[in-house]
Amino acid sequence: MTSSRVQSILAFTLSRCLYFGLGISFIINKGKNLSILACLIGFIIGYFILRYITNKDFKSFSNSLLGKIIIVFLCIYITNYTLIAFTILASNYYLTNTPTYFIAIPLFIVILYGVKCGFPTITRLSELLIIISVFIFIIISISIFVNIRIDNYLPMILKIDINFIECIISTIVYSITPNILLLYIVKDYNKNAILKGYIFGSLSIFLTIIGIIGVLGSNLASIYRYPEYKLLQQINILNFLEKQETFFALIWFIDLLITSLISQYIISTIFKNKYNTIALIIVIISLIFFINNYQNALFIYNNTNYILLIPLIIFLFIKSKKTKSL
């Protein structure tokens, strides 16, 4: 049985995993200064959606064919995203002359090894890595907030338009949809533990967006694909602790690694003896059609919110229909 502490840790990670390299830059680009308010509204609505979901029985959905199709789709899509996100960051800022194959394939080998070790090993790894992640995040947050300029938040004139609504919807999708995987893999889940993890995960993203806009300003931040990474390139602590973006990349890698391990472990439990073949297909598709294809990677960036909104709506519809029938 998975402990409440582990469930909170996994919910914390899954609530954050789609923001780095995707969600944060997309939301700031759409909402500018109002992205702060849009995210706050999105996280609050997301909390009540997750509360509603965790009140329901998940077993019938997990055992149904439609449920397995949705879960497999989410696992493959999220794994593909993690490979794209990590590979693009590494190739753009660290290993600029290294072919992307030599970045993505070793990462996927690590994922396969983690899946082979089993879910208990994945949870123990998450417990260890989350300590490192939270410690680094606290240090980075201190350095960010002492460099905030209040005038960067202005003007913040409420304008409810399509971009503002899209920011709210995107926030809900990015933070809630990955948690469906947790509800699938943890059969006797603890509602309060998952909600606690969601709250802290959402709060960390909310504070990150506040810090980015407060230091860079929304106009400058909206230009960058990795505004959180660019932010830390400009900051040091007491003029001696520099290169904090490397530590931030470590936080991001931890979230991506745990998320991809969970996704692939779920696929391995569904396909069992055929898993190696499925895993090979996933990495080939990711390498050929996305990691080495800028247009397709851009499609993922611009449409993930709507693509993942579809399984979330289907899932909520199934749950509400079952409630009425009862």
Q: Please state the domain count of the chain.
A: 1
pLDDT at 120 over 80: yes
Structure tokens at 40: 């706050």
According to the model, what pLDDT value does residue 281 have?
Answer: 84
* Of residues 289 and 243, more confidently modeled: 289
Short-list 175, 159, 196, 194, CA closest to 43: 175
Q: For residues 91 and 320, give the distance between their C-alpha atoms in angstroms, rounded to a whole number.
A: 44
Is the pLDDT at 198 greater than 80? The verdict is yes
Give the CATH number of the domain where residue 201 resides. Answer: 1.20.1740.10
| 123: its two tokens | 């949870």
Give 3-64 as a DSSP string. Answer: -HHHHHHHHHHHHHTTIIIIIHHHHHHHHGGGHHHHHHHHHHHHHHHHHHHHTS--HHHHHS
The predicted model scores a pTM of 0.89
The pLDDT tens digits for 53-80 are 888 677 777 778 888 889 999 998 998 8
Can you give the residue range of the structural domain that contains 57? Answer: 4-325
In whole angstroms, give the CA distance from residue 121 to residue 127: 10
Is the pLDDT higher at 200 or at 223? 200
pLDDT value at 325 more than 70: no
- CA distance linking residue 162 with residue 149, whole number of Å: 28
For 222-236, how does the pLDDT look when each residue is reduced to its tens digit (9 = 90+)?
Answer: 888 788 877 777 666
Q: Are 248 and 228 in contact (CB under 8 A)?
A: yes
Report the number of secondary-structure helices (H) and strands (E) in the chain. 15, 0
pLDDT recorded at residue 324: 47
CA distances from 104 to 84, 111, 297 (A): 8, 11, 14
